[in-house]
């Protein structure tokens, strides 16, 4: 895992395959077939030495109930099949009471929630063949009874599980902007030595609220936050996360070059 | 994006009780998570203490995201509504918990009169059931 990467998605697989300097990519874990052939462009990347990281979105590590063992096995299988150096998931929950939310939902920053996450992360780690990195999410709302600051909440989870951190600077930006706080303060308070890699993404304002859509251009303040992060401690790898409304290749190339410039890593284009 | 993951869904109260008994200390968290999800996807009231404006914004964002996911699986269905698709989907999906983008698209397609390409898309994905399927069912 080194340098600048981009999330592999079927819609842009041709674009990703053509990036000459690419050293790592990420694939949505639930889209990796457990049996049968893997997408040919993905195995081609793996075979030329590009690290491929399965990124889970459905484990619900923050759910009060134990995670589904079948989902963990599926994530482990994806890691094995791709020869992944690590896997990643979110500090969030996606279902409760028999209902699927269809999206990553925030947890209360409480001791009880820390215990629930730690229990589930420990269950997952017992079955996974590689290290697990945890990603804090962008939340549009907070719970009414937060006991811990975001940094305390995250640090305690990382300390108790030994998990790595997948830091999404766009999420840091979105949360700070919507809460009216300073994103740099969170960077100062997080254990940056635990960062495995970083997500960079775009968003859009809708009804006075900034939404982390992954379907818009990366705004300038997010790139500034990449620079601010790298000034504190440069992470081993950073990647553009684009999940929809795919722009022309020239726009993606410009965004990848901008992330390289902001982080000081070589351009991969 | 997962397709057609249909799980039997026990009534929310029963699920909470089981969950609480199993998770012990986390029972409060489980019940509160269930109440929040129900508010976001099943038309339940917003739990006390949350900022209603922000939870409502999240609820609308979820509906937009689902509309995009369903359009990915059912492109001709979505295209048949043109620019009105997000609104049409949101009106249909409001208060209906997600069943996966494929199933949501199927259910919506079956609930509205379709013509042309959208009707053909639905027909191509729901072939008449064969006798051996019928016998097993």
ipTM of the prediction = 0.94
Token pair 């609480």 is found at B20
**Taking an 8 Å Cβ-Cβ cutoff, which residues of chain A contact chain B?**
28, 30-31, 58, 63-66, 93, 95-103, 105, 108, 110, 112-113, 115-116, 140-145, 206-207, 209, 211, 244
| Residue among B37, B49, B66, B68 with most chain A CBs within 10 A, to mutate | B37
Q: What is the pLDDT, as a whole number, of residue B51?
A: 96
Count residue pairs from A and B with Cβ separation < 8 A.
Answer: 118
* Cα separation, B89 vs B67, whole angstroms: 6
Give, as one character, the DSSP assignment of residue A98.
T
Smallest CA–CA distance, residue A247 to chain B, in Å, is 16
* Cα separation, A192 vs A188, whole angstroms: 8
Q: What is the pLDDT of residues A33-89, one digit of tens each?
A: 999 999 999 999 999 999 999 999 999 999 999 999 999 999 999 999 999 999 999
Give the closest of A100, A105, A244 to B36, CB-based.
A105
Q: What share of chain A is helix, strand, coil (3-state, %, to 5)?
A: 40, 20, 35
For residue B61, what is the nearest residue in chain A, using CA coordinates? A211
* Cα separation, A212 vs A203, whole angstroms: 4
Chain B residues touching A110 at Cβ < 8 A: 29
pTM above 0.90, yes or no: no
Averaged pLDDT, A245-267: 97
* Cα separation, A159 vs A165, whole angstroms: 11
* Cα separation, A141 vs A178, whole angstroms: 9
Angstrom CA distances, A207 to B57, B60, B134, stand at 8, 11, 50
Q: What is the pLDDT of residues A7-23, one digit of tens each?
A: 999 999 999 999 999 99
Query: Helix crossing, A111-127 with B27-41: angle to 10°?
Result: 90
Which domains are seen in chain A, by residue range? 3-263 (3.20.20.150)
Measured in residues, chain B has a length of 137
What residues of chain B, 48 to 67, have a C-beta less than 8 Å from chain A?
Answer: 48-51, 54-55, 57-58, 60-62, 65-66
- Going by C-beta distance under 8 Å and a sequence separation of 6 or more, which residues neighbour residue A7? A25, A26, A27, A55, A239, A240, A241, A242, A243
Contacts of residues B30-34 at CB distance under 8 Å and 24 or more positions apart, as own/partner, are: B30/A63, B30/A64, B30/A65, B30/A96, B30/A97, B31/A97, B32/A108, B33/A63, B33/A64, B33/A93, B33/A96, B33/A97, B33/A105, B34/A96, B34/A97, B34/A98, B34/A99
Which residue blocks in chain A are alpha helix, DSSP H? 13-17, 40-47, 69-82, 111-127, 150-161, 169-179, 183-189, 220-232, 249-263
Q: What is the pLDDT of residues A210-242, one digit of tens each?
A: 999 999 999 999 999 999 999 999 999 999 999
pLDDT average per 10 residues of sequence, chain B (137 residues): 40 42 57 96 95 95 92 94 95 92 94 90 78 52
* Cα separation, A139 vs A33, whole angstroms: 30
* Distance in Å from the first CA to the final CA of chain B: 28
Q: What is the pLDDT of residues A79-135, one digit of tens each?
A: 999 999 999 999 999 999 999 998 999 999 999 999 999 999 999 999 999 999 999
* Cα separation, A87 vs A100, whole angstroms: 23
Evaluate whether A146 touches B56 at the Cβ level (below 8 Å): no
* Cα separation, A165 vs A116, whole angstroms: 18
Both structure tokens of B68: 């995009």
Q: What is the pLDDT, as a whole number, of residue A246?
A: 94
* Nearest alpha-carbon partner for A4 in A160, A261, A245, A238: A238
Q: What is the pLDDT of residues A137-181, one digit of tens each?
A: 999 999 998 999 999 999 999 999 999 999 999 999 999 999 999
Give the H or E element holding residue B22: helix B12-23
* Nearest alpha-carbon partner for B60 in B18, B91, B100, B99: B91
Beta bridge pairs of residue A211: A204
Chain B residues touching A30 at Cβ < 8 A: 1-2
Q: Angle at CA A18, nearest 5°, toward A17 and A20?
A: 110
Q: How many CA atoms lie within 13 A of A219 on its CB side?
A: 16
Both structure tokens of B8: 């039997």
Chain A residues touching B21 at Cβ < 8 A: none
């Amino acid at each position: 895992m080194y340098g600048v990467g981009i999330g592999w998605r079927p819609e842009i697989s041709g674009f990703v395959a053509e990036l000459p300097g690419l050293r790592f990519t990420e694939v949505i874990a639930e889209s990796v077939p457990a049996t049968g052939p893997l997408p040919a462009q993905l195995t081609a990347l793996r075979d030329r030495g590009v690290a491929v990281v399965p990124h889970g979105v459905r484990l619900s590590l923050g759910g009060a109930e134990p995670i589904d063992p079948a989902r963990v096995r599926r994530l482990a299988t994806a890691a094995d099949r791709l020869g992944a150096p690590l896997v990643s998931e979110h500090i969030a929950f996606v279902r409760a009471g028999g209902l699927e939310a269809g999206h990553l939902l925030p947890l209360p920053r409480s001791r009880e929630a820390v215990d629930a996450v730690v229990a589930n992360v420990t269950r997952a780690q017992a079955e996974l063949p590689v290290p697990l990195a945890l990603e804090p999410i962008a939340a549009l709302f907070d719970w009414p009874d937060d006991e811990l600051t975001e940094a305390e909440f995250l640090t305690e989870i990382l300390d108790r599980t030994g998990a790595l951190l997948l830091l999404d600077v766009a999420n840091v930006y979105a949360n700070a902007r919507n809460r009216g706080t300073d994103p740099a303060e969170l960077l100062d308070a997080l254990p940056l030595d635990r960062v495995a890699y970083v997500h960079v993404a775009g968003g859009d304002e809708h009804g006075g609220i900034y939404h982390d859509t992954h379907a818009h251009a990366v705004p300038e303040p997010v790139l500034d936050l990449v620079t601010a992060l790298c000034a504190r401690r440069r992470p081993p790898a950073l990647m553009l996360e684009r999940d929809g409304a795919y722009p022309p290749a020239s726009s993606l190339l410009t965004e990848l070059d901008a992330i390289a410039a902001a982080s000081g890593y070589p351009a991969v284009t | 994006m997962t397709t057609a993951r249909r799980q039997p869904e026990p009534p929310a109260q029963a699920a909470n009780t089981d969950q609480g008994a199993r998770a012990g200390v986390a029972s409060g968290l489980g019940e509160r998570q269930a109440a929040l999800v129900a508010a976001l996807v099943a038309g339940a009231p917003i739990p006390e203490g949350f900022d209603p404006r922000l939870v409502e914004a999240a609820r609308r964002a979820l509906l937009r995201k689902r509309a995009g996911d369903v359009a990915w699986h059912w492109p001709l269905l979505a295209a048949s509504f043109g620019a009105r698709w997000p609104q049409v989907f949101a009106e249909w999906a409001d208060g209906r918990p997600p069943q996966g983008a494929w199933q949501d698209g199927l259910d919506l397609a079956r609930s509205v009169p379709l013509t042309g390409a959208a009707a053909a898309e639905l027909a191509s994905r729901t072939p008449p059931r064969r006798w051996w399927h019928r016998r097993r069912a």
